[in-house]
Amino acid sequence: MTVTAQTGAYRPAPPPKWRPLTDAAPLLPDERPHRVLGTGAELDPALMSELYTQLVKGRRYNQQATALTKQGRLAVYPSSTGQEACEVAAALVLEERDWLFPSYRDTLAAVARGLDPAQALTLLRGDWHSGYNPLECRIAPLSTPLATQLPHAVGLAHAARLRGDDVVALALVGDGGTSEGDFHEALNFAAVWQAPVVFLVQNNGFAISVPLAKQTAAPTLAHKAVGYGMPGRLVDGNDAAAVHEVLADAVARARRGGGPTLVEAVTYRMEAHTNADDATRYRVDAEVEAWRAHDPVALLESELTRRGLLDEDGIAAAREAAERMAADLRDGMNAEADLDPMSLFDHVYAEQTTQLREQAEQLRAELAAADEHDEHDAHDDPHAQHGQEDGR
C-alpha cells in the first residue's frame, strides 16, 4: 500500500487562487516536423544559394575527414553526414557578435561559421587544446563530454544580457545529450533567467547504439521545453530551408528579449557514430537506405533546380569550391605539426594554480633531461658523428 492510499494520508491541494505560472499551449511544438521544401513556400534565392553551397562543401568535408582517419591523420572523426542541414543552418543564422557552442560532432558547423577546416580538426588529431582561439571566432571549444557546453552557453548569454550586449548563444547537442543532467540544468536556468540562448537538438536516432525510445518516453524531445517554460519547436532536420527558418525565428526571439527556445531537428546519422563504431550491430541497412532517400543535399538541390534557382553551372561551382576546400584540408592535415609540450599548461586558467606551476616545472626538467640525453648519445655514437660530417 502506498502512503497516499492510506486512510488519512496527507494529500496536498492547491490554494483557491492557484494557477499555472505559464500557459502551456503556446509552448507546445507542432504535431509534425515543420517543413519548407516541397510546400510551395517562398524562398530567398541568395539564402538558398548560400545554403546549397555550404551543404555541398559540408558533405565533402565529412568525406575528406573520414578519409583522413583511415590514413592515420586523425585519431577519430564523428561524421555529421546526413546532418549537414542542421550544421550549416546553425552557423548561418548567427550574427558575427553571436556565439556558437558545438559538441564533438559539430566541426562542420564551426567550419560553416568561418573556422579554418584544419583548425576545426586539431582537437580530433590530438595536437593542441581546442585548436583555435574561441574569442577570435566566437565558437566555444568542441565539447566531447555530453551536454557540458549547454550550461556554458546559458552563462555566456545571461552575462551578455546583464551587460546590455546584443548577443545570442546557440548551443548544439545530440539526442543522447538530452539524457544528461547538464541538459536539465541548462534549460532550467535559461528559462528562469530568460537568457538569450537557443538550444538545437539534432535528433539523429541514436546515442551511439542506444535508440531514442530507450532514452525517453516523451512525445518528442521538443515537448521537454514545456516543462521548463520555454517554446519547443519541431523541424525536419534534413530540410535546410526549414531548419534555417525555425532557428532564425528562435534567434530573433531571443535577441529581442523573448527568452530561450528548444528546437528539435529530426535527422539521421548516415555514418557510424565514429570511425571506431560498427553501426551494423544495432541498425539495419534498410533503415539507412530509407533515410538516404531524404538526403539533405539532394533535397535542396532538387527543389532549387525545379524552381529554376539552381542550374548546372551553379552545381559545378559548388562542387569545385568543395574540392578546393578538401585539397586545402588535406594539405593542412598532412603537414607535420610543430608542437610544444609546454603549451599543455597554457589557457587552462587565467592565472596558473600552484599545482599547475609545479607540474610545468617537472615537465620542463624532464624535457631538458631528455634533450641532454639525446645530445650525449649523438656525441658518443661515431656513426651519428660520421653521418653529420659527410652530410648524410
Which positions are annotated as active-site residues?
Answer: 269, 273, 282
Would you put residue 57 in left (φ > 0), alpha (ψ -120 to 50) or beta?
alpha
The partner residues of 201 in beta bridges, in order of sequence, read: 173, 264
Measure the CA–CA gap between 261 and 200, rounded to whole angstroms. Answer: 9
SS3 257: coil
Answer whether 73's CB lies under 8 Å from 56's CB: no
The partner residues of 171 in beta bridges, in order of sequence, read: 101, 199
Measure the CA–CA gap between 86 and 7, rounded to whole angstroms. Answer: 55
Helix or strand holding residue 287 (H, E): helix 285-292
Residue 371 grid coordinates: 634533450
Q: How far is CA 312 from the centre of its chain?
A: 32
Measure the CA–CA gap between 383 and 34, rounded to whole angstroms. Answer: 72
Answer whether 234's CB lies under 8 Å from 28's CB: no
The single residue listed with the C-alpha cell 548567427 is: 94
Helix or strand holding residue 232 (H, E): strand 232-236
The single residue listed with the C-alpha cell 569545385 is: 320
Measure the CA–CA gap between 274 and 80, rounded to whole angstroms. Answer: 10
Measure the CA–CA gap between 92 and 180, rounded to whole angstroms. Answer: 27
